[in-house]
């Protein structure tokens, strides 16, 4: 089955075509550290299809990372995936983006891992995994405040956040992994009928509703009774 995989939960835009039978990525594009997911996602999907010599009609399912992630970026990927799925009449599967990142860890070498991504506001989204199974999280917290039970063998975190970790975690081996297309597909359960996409925001959006302005004294009161 040819699967279109998308993730916009991090500053990177990740798009790929994956053969779900072999979990082989046929074509992929990663635009790192972009703040223009909305403008770049559809053209990147089109280019990924062209690169593979395929068209939208060849896609049989879609997998999209549902976070955790910032409100605006995460919404772009999920809304686009839902729109593609509706237009093509194919199922759309939502998966945890941290779970997909964890798929890139060698759990035979590192039995327990911490996976964290940049949540902005000086915080990280995080979860821990033992032998590939999530045992804590996802949650959002300042990296310096991470206090985990048990030993951590490896930490996947953006390089610029390593120095923000507590001393114990800063001393652990670090990698910086992404939710790659084949990893997004690997955590999807194609044996079930997918339900509605549910985003993992974990906190309120950055944008706030403006406070109401006081009414000018120059505007006369109107009696509507």
Do residues 110 and 64 share a domain?
no
**Is there a single domain that holds both residue 12 and residue 86?**
yes
Q: Are residues 32 and 92 in the same domain?
A: yes
Residues 162 and 87 in one domain: no
Q: Is 209 helix (H, G, I), strand (E, B) or coil?
A: coil
Look at the alpha carbons of 119, 114, 67, 10 in this order and tell me if their dihedral is positive or negative: positive
DSSP percent split of the chain into helix, strand, coil, nearest 5: 30, 30, 45
Asked whether residue 139 falls in the same domain as residue 160, the answer is: yes
pLDDT at residue 131 is higher than 60? yes
pLDDT tens across 198-212, in order?
A: 999 997 555 455 666
- Say yes or no: 91 and 22 in one domain: yes
31 has a pLDDT exceeding 90: yes
What pLDDT shows up at residue 214?
A: 65
Same domain for 130 and 85, yes or no, is no
- Give residue 29's domain range: 2-96+179-186
**pLDDT tens sequence across 98-117:** 999 999 999 999 999 999 99
Residue corresponding to tokens 């310096």: 144
pLDDT greater than 60 at residue 152: yes
Same domain, 86 and 117: no
β-pair partners for 27 = 17
Kindly report the CATH number assigned to the domain that includes residue 22: 3.30.420.40
Which of 132, 148, 175 represents a domain boundary (last residue)? 175
Residue 208 lies in a domain: no
51 and 128 inside one domain: no
End-to-end CA distance of the chain: 66
Q: Are strands 2-7 and 61-65 parallel, antiparallel or unpaired?
A: parallel
- Give tens-digit pLDDT for 158-180: 999 999 999 999 999 999 999 99
User: Among 38-42, 50-54, 70-74, whose mean pLDDT is lowest?
Assistant: 70-74
Whether residues 126 and 74 fall in one domain: no
CA–CA dist 126, 148 (Å, integer): 11
Residues 168, 118 share a domain: yes
Q: Which of 151, 175, 199 is the last residue of a domain?
A: 175
């Amino acid at each position: 089955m040819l699967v279109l995989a998308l993730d916009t939960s991090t500053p990177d835009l990740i798009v790929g075509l994956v053969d779900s039978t072999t979990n082989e990525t046929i074509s992929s594009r990663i635009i790192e550290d972009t703040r223009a997911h909305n403008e770049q996602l559809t053209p990147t999907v089109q280019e990924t299809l062209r690169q593979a010599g395929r068209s939208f009609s060849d896609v049989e399912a879609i997998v999209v990372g549902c976070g955790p992630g910032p409100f605006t970026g995460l919404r772009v990927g999920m809304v686009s995936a839902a729109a593609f799925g509706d237009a093509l009449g194919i199922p759309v599967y939502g998966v945890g983006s941290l779970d997909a990142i964890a798929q890139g860890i060698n759990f035979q070498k590192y039995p327990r891992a911490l996976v964290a991504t940049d949540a902005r506001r000086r915080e990280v989204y995080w979860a821990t995994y033992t032998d590939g199974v999530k045992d804590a999280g996802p949650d959002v917290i300042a990296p310096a405040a991470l206090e985990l039970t048990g030993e951590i063998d490896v930490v996947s975190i953006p390089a610029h956040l390593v120095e923000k970790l507590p001393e114990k975690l800063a001393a652990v081996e670090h990698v910086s992994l992404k939710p790659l297309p084949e990893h997004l597909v690997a955590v999807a359960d194609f044996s079930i009928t997918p339900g509605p996409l549910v985003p993992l925001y974990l906190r309120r959006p950055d944008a706030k509703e403006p406070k109401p302005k006081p009414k000018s004294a120059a505007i006369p009161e109107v009696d509507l009774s």
